A and B are shown apart, each in its own frame.
Chain A
Amino acid sequence: MTDNKQHQIITSWEEDLFNALKQAEVKQLPYVPDAGHSKVINMAHRDPDIRPVVLTTEEEGVALCCGAWLGGEKSVLLMQSSGVGNCINMLSLISNCNFPFVTIITMRGEFGEFNSWQVPMSSATQGSLELMGLNVQRVDEGDDVGSTVAAALYSAYSSDQRIAILLSQKLIGSKKW
């Protein structure tokens, strides 16, 4: 008896995210480490076609992304919501020169946060990015991660758009200590 049922391969949102980066031919992945991004960062370190670049501060990553695009390579900046505050001024470069830009931000300070110190910057993350001219897209469901990242990369690199994707803390899971 033949089984005609289609076998659906279940992938994690991290795999979907990484596949979206690969399909869009992202070559540089600057990041400040975050637990929420750790699987994607590990995948990047194992992939010979993507160059992960550890940053000392998030604003360095904005500059690296612009430099990469001057040389014709696509990049994505990975950081945590607290890091957004560290790159506000540098986002001027993106709006002034109309650089394409995609950043994927893991959220702290919201769902089930144990550390109140994470809350103020978290609450200001979306507003700060929007004030600096970025289009902010928030993702709460794992199933939406891959398509949102793919769409953002397409929009950014086909028409010089600036997009920040916020991966909610509910999606990532709150940190337990």
Chain B
Amino acid sequence: MIRSEILKELKPLLSDQLVVCNIGLPSQELHMIDDQPTNFYMLGTMGLASSIGLGLALSQKEKVIAIDGDGSVLTNLGTLPTIANNVADNFILLIIDNGSYGSTGDQPTYAGKKTSLTDVAKACGCENVVECRAENTLDVMKKALEGNQMTIIVCKCESGNVKVPVITMDPVVIRDRFMKEVISKNT
């Protein structure tokens, strides 16, 4: 399975959750599969969707899912100790680990070689780290949403992209409609 297939499978779980999604194709795929005002597309800077997600999770009660890639997490490995040490039990970080920099032409990442992001997350102090195969992501995400514990999911999948349109929505609109959803979910 490739990332877009995983996102398609996750659609029924994600559609009414607060989702902060990573730059490039992941956001574009999510936007194409199921654009929702509860999606915050982070379209600039690799590696910081998880930090935005953490700030959001710490500031309100609703569950927050940050979707990141292995390449992005590798550019900001410091996010893992920060997440581990500032526990937000309403926070789920889904790392879709396809071992490649998908948006730039599938160049290999170290996560597809010797580096295990699962082990890195554990070593950083994250207490609930689940590594799964792509086919099991739906079940793992279901459990994470049902539970009340911060969860890091490392989903190992194949690399590959599908043709997707760019997101033409104004970033201010992305922010504005997302914030309205946060307010209505919290009231």
Q: Which residues of A contact B (CB under 8 A)?
A: 27-28, 30, 51, 53-57, 59-60, 62-73, 75, 89-90, 92-93, 96-99
Taking a contact as CB atoms under 8 Å apart, the answer to whether A64 and B52 are in contact is: yes
In the assembled complex, which residues on chain B have CB atoms less than 8 Å from the CB atom of A64? 51-52, 54-55
Taking a contact as CB atoms under 8 Å apart, the answer to whether B58 and A98 are in contact is: no
Shortest beta-carbon distance, A57 to chain B, in Å?
Answer: 5
Shortest beta-carbon distance, A2 to chain B, in Å?
Answer: 50
Q: Does residue B59 face the partner (Cβ distance < 8 Å to A)? A: yes
12 intermolecular pairs with C-beta atoms under 8 Å apart:
A53-B86, A55-B78, A60-B51, A60-B78, A63-B52, A63-B55, A67-B53, A67-B57, A68-B58, A70-B52, A97-B174, A97-B175
Taking a contact as CB atoms under 8 Å apart, the answer to whether A51 and B52 are in contact is: no
Taking a contact as CB atoms under 8 Å apart, the answer to whether B183 and A72 are in contact is: yes
A-B contact number at CB 8 A: 109
Shortest beta-carbon distance, B74 to chain A, in Å?
Answer: 14
Q: Which residues of B contact A (CB under 8 A)?
A: 20, 40, 42-45, 48-49, 51-60, 76, 78-79, 81-82, 85-86, 171-172, 174-175, 178-179, 182-183, 186
Find B55's partner among A28, A89, A98 (CB 8 Å cutoff): A28
Taking a contact as CB atoms under 8 Å apart, the answer to whether A98 and B52 are in contact is: no
Is chain B's interface secondary structure helix, strand, loop, or mixed overall? helix
Interface centre among A65, A66, A89, A90 (most CB of B within 10 A): A66
Cα distance, A73 to B55, chains bound together (Å)? 9
Find B60's partner among A60, A72, A75 (CB 8 Å cutoff): A72
In the assembled complex, which residues on chain A have CB atoms less than 8 Å from the CB atom of B76? 57, 59-60
In the assembled complex, which residues on chain B have CB atoms less than 8 Å from the CB atom of A72? 59-60, 179, 182-183, 186
Cα distance, A66 to B174, chains bound together (Å)? 13
Which residue of chain A has its CB nearest to the CB of B183?
A72
